[in-house]
Structure 1
Amino acid sequence: MLAVAGFLYWWELPHTRESFLAPGRRIDDFRGDYAFLSNFFPAPVIFEGVEYPTVEHAYQAAKTLDQEARKKLKAAATPELAKKLGGQLPIRPDWPQVKVQIMRELLRQKFQRHPELRELLRHTGDAELVEGNTWHDNFWGACRCARCNGVPGRNWLGRLLMEVRNEIAASPKS
């Protein structure tokens, strides 16, 4: 059971609410009822043998080959700080080629390691998952600010979450 300050407790999550299970909808805000979809959600994952408190921490650490920088990222007090620190790192040369696959593996692990999150993801059904944002990230999501209006987001985070959800749906309940 994940119970963390600032997030809902398991029994408070909307896993049985009708609106949560309604078919054919679009989820484009990974806060509130859908905070568990965010890379900032406190669900520890392991990257190259090291446990990180969130997918965001691990993803930022994966950007660099500098082991000291990775230690600082692991120790970052919040995923927001990890993201900020990650923006200041020397980036590994193959990053453009590997970043989507690394995110895919981190998301798979997040939902494999945390059964309650796996069930919540399963219960999003056939909803389109879109990492809606206002910080101009049209690679991982779809920015909805005035400046980006009409610019299609690639929505890699949403696409990968739906891919993991499909894998979960195809596997026996565990």
Structure 2
Amino acid sequence: MEAITHFRDAHKFLSNFFVLPSPILWLGHECPTVEHAYQLSKTRDQGWQKLIATAIMPGQAKRIGNKRNLPLREDWEDIKVDTMTELLRLKFSSGILHHALLGTGDVELVEGNWWHDNFWGSCVCQSCGNKGKNWLGKLLMKVREEL
């Protein structure tokens, strides 16, 4: 089966770090990327949410969202996949991104990475062996199927 194995270059629109044509309104905050919205979903604290939503770059939003002193929602592990699913539905609901996702056809989408993320993606380093769960890829394919 043919696959897209990384979300950069021609496929960077699949990345959660891709800056959206129009911000997503999520939990009362305008978010320039899915990463911003996902990270601020981790907490109910409005101050932290605002700090994440206004981060200049998605990597900065991720770093803030991963801080040890972030007051994490008690149900976060139970809702994080559903949260990502809803955010991806919003991202690809219309416009150019809708057509771009459909344009991937029926190929497998794999968020290949080298930073050992084997939950959302599949790390390609020798020690990880490309055996990740690839939840981001699976959810993108699910959303694509729903379109």
TM-score interval for Structure 1 and Structure 2 normalised by the shorter chain: over 0.9
SS in 1 for 2:90: helix
State the match for 1:94 in structure 2.
75
State whether structure 2 residue 12 is matched by structure 1 residue 35. yes
CA offset digits 1:107-153 (Å, max 9, x no partner):
000011x4101101001001100110111111001001112015x21
Alignment of 1:103 onto 2:80: no
Q: Contact between 2:16 and 2:35, CA under 8 Å: does it hold in 1? A: yes
Write out per-residue CA displacement over residues 46-90 of structure 1, whole angstroms, 9 at most, x where no aligned residue: 212322110000000000111100100011000010011111122
Among all aligned residue pairs of Structure 1 and Structure 2, give the percentage whose two residues are the same amino acid: 53
**1:122 aligns to what?**
102
User: What is aligned with 1:25?
Assistant: 2
Partner secondary structure for residue 51 of structure 1: strand
Q: 2:122 aligns with which of 128, 142, 158?
A: 142
State how far apart, in whole Å, the 2-side matches of 1:123 and 1:38 are.
15
After TM superposition, give the deviation of residue 91 of structure 1 in Å. 1.2
Partner of 2:135: 156
Q: Deviations over 1:22-42 (max 9, x none)?
A: xx4200110000000000001
2:25 alignment partner AA: I
What secondary structure is seen at the aligned counterpart in 2 of 1:57? helix
Distance 1:39 1:28 in 2: 15
Unpaired runs of at least 5, structure 2: none
The answer as to 2:55 corresponding to 1:76 is yes
Measure how far apart 1:160 and its partner are.
Answer: 0.4
- Structure-2 residue corresponding to 1:59: 38
Determine if contact 2:116/2:123 at 8 Å carries over to the other structure: yes
Q: Counterparts of 1:141 and 1:32 in 2: how far apart (Å)?
A: 17
TM-score by length of 1: 0.80
How many corresponding residue pairs? Answer: 143
CA distance in 1, matches of 2:30, 2:54: 11
TM-score (norm 2): 0.94
Please tell me whether Structure 1 or Structure 2 has the larger radius of gyration of its CA atoms: 1
**Native 8 Å contact 2:29 2:50 kept in 1:** no
Q: Secondary structure at the match of 1:46?
A: strand
